[in-house]
Amino acid sequence: MGTVIDVQCQNCGAQRQYWLGIGQQFHDPEIILDMISKHHRGAAKHALKQSPGSEISGAYELAHCPGCNRLASVKHARVELGEQLLYEADHYCAKCDERMELIEEEDVARIPCAKCGGPLVMDEDCCVHWD
């Protein structure tokens, strides 16, 4: 089951919700492959084909752009064979096209607001579950 988190700037009041986690669709390898951009889908398929026993997983993850401080909920996929990472999706900022980094929810407090540079907080009382 996934969650929706609410992030707000303490300075300017900018507020946004982000979908995180997995739902029923993320248990089907074909659906996970389809959520990967066409440009990168071939690399994931190649990793699965070349390594029998490898598995693909996907989830909505929180990503941060170090260039413009934008946060985004991204559909993230990875292919693993045991502990070995064979493929991991890259994500690029829709605003400045810089490569985004995956972050944890607790990292939100260290990231400045993309609009004004003020401190961000996560509303602990606002949590919606989805499937």
pLDDT per residue as tens, the chain (131 positions): 788 999 999 999 999 999 999 877 777 888 889 888 888 899 999 999 999 999 999 999 999 999 999 999 999 999 999 999 999 999 999 999 999 999 999 999 999 999 999 999 998 666 676 55
pTM for the full predicted model: 0.86
Q: What is the pLDDT of residue 130?
A: 58
Q: Can you tell me the distance from the alpha carbon of 107 to that of 83, in angstroms, rounded to the nearest whole number?
A: 25
Phi, psi of 56 (to 5 degrees): -105, 140
Strands (E), the chain: 2-9, 15-20, 55-64, 71-81, 84-88, 101-103, 120-130
Query: 107 CB contacts (<8 Å, ≥6 apart)?
Result: 62, 64
Amino acid at 80: E
